[in-house]
Amino acid sequence: MKPRIQQGHRSGFTLIELLVVIAIIAILAGMLLPAVSRVSLNAKKKQCLTQMANLAGAVQAYQTKYSRMPTSARTRAAVTVDQPDYTYGTQQEGGQLPASKAGATYTQVLNRSGNAWQVSNAELMTILLREQRTINGEVINRANELNPQQEIFLTVRSETGRKPDRVSDEDGAFRDAWGFPFIVVVDLDGDGRVRNPFFRTGGNEREFLNVPVAVYSLGPDGQVDFGRDSAGQTAKGTVNADNLYSWK
């Protein structure tokens, strides 16, 4: 009687089984990636809000110490009766500041008085960080004349280049988590409030913000529309939906 030959057990996967496994992995990855992206976005927003609060707090700490805002003579001269609060926007040295990401375009924000003196938050940072910098041909905080006690009012990293979450050693601007300059509005007429940049007749925004300094970020898309509401239900679906504000 011939010995019975047992069939060997099959090892490994068939091509079909491998394709099924790959498909399952792809589906799971597709489900997880949006969640990971949301977590990353929320972390950046939280960091951005903290930075804005710190910046606003630093400006107010300077005001408390010196009984004036950390602004140059050129900035103080660039406001009018109709526009008494200065907006540190996105223009400097005669043009739009570059974003951190090369080639990225974003909304231009100007001080609204019509004066030719347009400067970013680099002026504020120069004074608050006890530095000296030439901006638009003017030496800002020469020999610490605007910060005579040489106090550093804000803890923030300064680095070469134009990195997000940093103050640039090149242009002096403080950029948000997405690489766009923080916009800062300061009270220069001493009434303890600033005009709401989103106020318009017939809109839902109040005319004044009851704070001496307001900071906002253009968000991930780098866009802002002052002809629309800044936040809330009416801002959904617009470029303002992702903006962040120190006063909200």
pLDDT at 4: 55
Q: What mean pLDDT is predicted for residues 68-95?
A: 97
Q: Is the pLDDT of residue 9 over 70?
A: no
Q: Pick the more confident residue, 134 or 22.
A: 134
Work out the mean pLDDT of the chain and round it to a whole number. Answer: 92
pLDDT at 102: 93
This prediction's pTM:
0.85
pLDDT at 15: 79
212-225 per-position pLDDT tens digit: 999 999 999 999 99
Q: Is the pLDDT of residue 190 over 70?
A: yes
Q: What mean pLDDT is predicted for residues 24-46?
A: 78
Q: What mean pLDDT is predicted for residues 23-40?
A: 74
Percentage with pLDDT > 90 across the chain: 79
Q: Is the pLDDT of residue 38 over 80?
A: no
pLDDT at 89: 98
Query: Sorting pLDDT into bands at 50, 70 and 90, what band is 6?
Result: low
**By the 8 A CB rule, do 100 and 181 touch?**
no
